């Protein structure tokens, strides 16, 4: 299967996105913000469909909207109790808008399906470079904020007393998440972002309580699932996203049983 250019591109894209998703997802799960990741992917859907309407590349529509959504969520929902409600409202408004945009380009049904369920086989080389660039920005950003992020995640009251701005950390982190989500959508689609962002991270956390090991493990698990999904899709001709979702769910189930 490596003899085809599109397969090599697909493997590379899956590898990049899986690692980014696994690492960023680890912090998302640790913070208990998986719902935010879910909502951001839906916000991204609006951005992507809107971009297509305007004749822009859906990837940039996706990135633009997820980042805006992430910043908005970080600013609005600084208090824990408010968060779910805030996110739910953002989510429903954006889904509604996305639906409207979709209504205007019914001709592009395949594009809509690709957004919803992903299309890693359709990634071209320029997109691959974009994914690599976005991934690098996302991981670099995460590295820079990881210290205060962990502090604010594990001990918000003490972090505040030590002068950490919980709001700033939250906004920066959700921006990082937004980039990772936008990448993820390219591979598994809006509806299955959980499979790469949450599945591997939750599996890793079930297997180890050590931070460093957990992050590494989440990246490796995501990588195996992403690459494995593409390979299985090639062999069976079933959708990649189905395979990644199945591997992700299976791995989590096994890890939970072991515990």
Expressed in angstroms, the distance from the first to the final Cα of the chain is 37
Q: Does 145 bind other proteins (CB under 8 A)?
A: yes
Interface of this chain with other proteins, residues 164 to 183, rule: CB under 8 A = 164
> Smallest gap, in angstroms, from Cβ of residue 218 to other proteins?
12
Structure tokens at 226: 């992403």
**Sign of torsion over alpha carbons 129, 71, 147, 212:** negative
Q: Is 136 in the site for other proteins (CB under 8 A)?
A: no
Residues near other proteins (CB under 8 A), total: 32
Map residues 47-86 to x or -, x wherever contact with other proteins holds by CB under 8 A: ---------------------------------x------
Q: Which residue from 56, 60, 128, 156 is in contact with other proteins, where contact means CB under 8 A?
A: 156
Residues 6+ apart with CB under 8 A from 164: 148, 151, 152
Tell me which of 125, 144, 235, 253 binds other proteins, using CB under 8 A: 144
Specify the residue, 1 or 254, whose C-beta has the smaller distance to other proteins. 254
| Min separation Cβ 145 and other proteins, Å | 7
Nearest to 205 by CA among 256, 133, 168, 157: 256
Contact between 141 and other proteins by CB under 8 A: the answer reads: no
Residue 19 corresponds to which tokens in the numbers above?
A: 């690692």
* Helix axes of 199-207 and 5-30: crossing angle, nearest 10 degrees: 60
**Which of 57, 111, 128, 151 forms a contact with other proteins (CB under 8 A)?**
151
Separation in Å, CA 163 to CA 160, 174, 244: 5, 20, 41
Contact residues for other proteins, defined by CB under 8 A: 30, 32, 80, 143-164, 205-206, 209-212, 214
């Amino acid at each position: 299967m490596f003899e085809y250019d599109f397969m090599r591109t697909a493997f590379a894209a899956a590898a990049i996105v899986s690692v980014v998703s696994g690492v960023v997802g680890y912090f998302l799960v640790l913070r208990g913000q998986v719902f935010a990741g879910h909502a951001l992917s839906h916000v991204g859907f609006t951005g992507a469909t809107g971009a297509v309407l305007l004749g822009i590349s859906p990837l940039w529509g996706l990135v633009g909207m997820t980042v805006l959504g992430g910043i908005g969520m970080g600013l609005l929902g600084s208090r824990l109790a408010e968060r779910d409600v805030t996110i739910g409202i953002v989510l429903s408004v954006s889904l509604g808008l996305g639906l409207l945009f979709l209504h205007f380009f019914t001709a592009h049904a395949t594009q809509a399906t690709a957004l919803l369920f992903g299309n890693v086989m359709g990634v071209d080389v320029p997109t691959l470079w974009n994914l690599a660039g976005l991934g690098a920005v996302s991981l670099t950003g995460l590295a820079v904020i990881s210290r205060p992020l962990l502090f604010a995640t594990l001990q918000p009251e003490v972090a505040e007393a030590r002068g950490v701005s919980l709001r700033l950390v939250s906004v920066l982190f959700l921006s990082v998440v937004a980039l990772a989500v936008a990448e993820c959508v390219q591979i598994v689609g809006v509806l299955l972002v959980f499979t790469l962002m949450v599945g591997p991270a939750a599996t890793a956390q079930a297997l180890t309580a050590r931070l460093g090991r957990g992050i590494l493990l989440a990246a490796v698990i995501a990588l195996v699932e992403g690459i494995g999904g593409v390979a299985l899709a090639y062999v069976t001709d079933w959708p990649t996203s189905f395979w990644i979702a199945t591997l992700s769910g299976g791995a989590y189930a096994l890890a939970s049983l072991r515990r």
